[in-house]
Amino acid sequence: MPPDLQQLYDAHAPALFAFLINFTRREADARDVLQELFLKLAARPERLEGIREARAYLLRLAHHLAIDAHRRRATHEAAVERAAIEPVALFVESADPDEAAFRAALAEALAELPAEQRAVVHLKLWEQMTFAEIAEALEIPANTAASRYRYGLDKLQTLLRPLYEELR
Amino acid sequence: MNDFERKLSQQPFRTPPPEWRDAILNAPANVIVPASWTWRDWLWPSPKAWAALAALWMICAAVGLQGDGTPTVEGPVAQQPVDGATLLAFHQAQSLNYAIDPSN
């Protein structure tokens, strides 16, 4: 039976969007990858047959497509243009100035991480995945996932600790 | 998970803009999904061209089978008679070569 794409979208698009916008840092890329992902599912519905964890599978596919998109773009786009990317809004806006400041600082700190570290940190913190699950989703060894998380978290702590302590 | 990790994980990410839903979900509706792959899918773009190519190939095969099987390649070049023009060109080349370098 072909998957119900509407149901899949409603259940997983927010998580996929969050992962993609954090990984790619470009809303247009997140949109393109999300579109491509659903086109692939529509073209080959059997992809989801026998999949136990749809979310993990979709995140894995999204990661693949985002890397492909990045490679395609890198060959066509000048480095100058890439450097001129404007900061993207990752988080929901907050009326509380302290929360707003923390979210802005967190978005900037995440941008400091290498993309693959950011992917691991995202899946661990915002998807609550285990290192084994992250390893499967990103097709890396679990030890690599754990070390990337540790390095990424250390860097976030270094960058955010002063503000974090101040807001506590 | 320590307090710092918990604090980070509680920060809510934006959700995709609502207008994306219809745009993304309507695009796949136009995709035609073949039930299964067949030779017809491959040949479909130009069936007449493929048929013509197949017919041409069969004609070539038939002509090839009707031959007497003797090889069409001639014998070694050395055994063939040399014509006058080739001989003259050979002598001219030798003369030129001697004029350039008499030691050769």
pLDDT average per 10 residues of sequence, chain B (104 residues): 91 94 80 57 71 90 76 56 76 78 66
Q: What is the pTM of this model?
A: 0.68
Check residue A81 and give its pLDDT: 53
| Contact A17/B at CB under 8 A | yes
- Output the CA angle A83-A159-A99, nearest 5 degrees: 95
The shortest C-alpha distance from A34 to chain B (Å) reads 8
A contacts of B28 (beta carbons < 8 Å) = 5, 38-39, 41-43
The shortest C-alpha distance from A75 to chain B (Å) reads 26
B contacts of A157 (beta carbons < 8 Å) = 4
- Nearest chain A residue to B22, by CA: A6
- Nearest chain A residue to B31, by CA: A43
Find the CB nearest A31 among B20, B28, B31.
B20
* Token couple for B79: 């055994």
- Nearest chain B residue to A101, by CA: B11
| Contact B37/A at CB under 8 A | no
A contacts of B37 (beta carbons < 8 Å) = none
| Contact A102/B at CB under 8 A | yes
What is the C-alpha separation between A68 and A83, in angstroms, rounded? Answer: 19
| Contact B13/A at CB under 8 A | yes
Give whole-number Cα distances, A150 to A12, A79, A132, B5, in Å: 27, 30, 15, 11
Hey, how many other C-beta atoms are within 10 angstroms of the C-beta on B75? 7
| Contact B35/A at CB under 8 A | no
Beta bridge partners of A91: B13
Give whole-number Cα distances, A111 to A26, A37, A97, A168, B35, in Å: 11, 24, 21, 23, 44
Answer whether A118's CB lies under 8 Å from A22's CB. Answer: yes
Could you tell me what percentage of chain A is helix, strand and coil, using 3-state DSSP and rounding each to the nearest 5? 75, 0, 20
Beta bridge partners of B13: A91
What is the C-alpha separation between A14 and A20, in angstroms, rounded? Answer: 10
Q: pLDDT tens track of chain A, all 168 residues? A: 456 888 999 999 999 999 999 999 889 899 999 999 999 988 888 888 878 888 999 999 999 999 988 887 766 665 445 544 556 889 999 999 999 999 999 999 999 999 999 999 999 999 999 999 999 999 999 999 999 999 999 999 999 988 888 877
Find the CB nearest A42 among B4, B8, B28.
B28
Check residue B13 and give its pLDDT: 95
What is the C-alpha separation between B13 and A15, in angstroms, rounded? Answer: 9
Kindly give the residue spans of alpha helices, DSSP state H, lying in chain B: 3-9, 18-29, 39-43, 47-66, 84-100
Q: If you ran DSSP here, which 8-state letter would residue B7 be given?
A: H
Check residue A45 and give its pLDDT: 81
Q: Which of A60, A46, A52, A54 is nearest to A11 (CA)?
A: A54
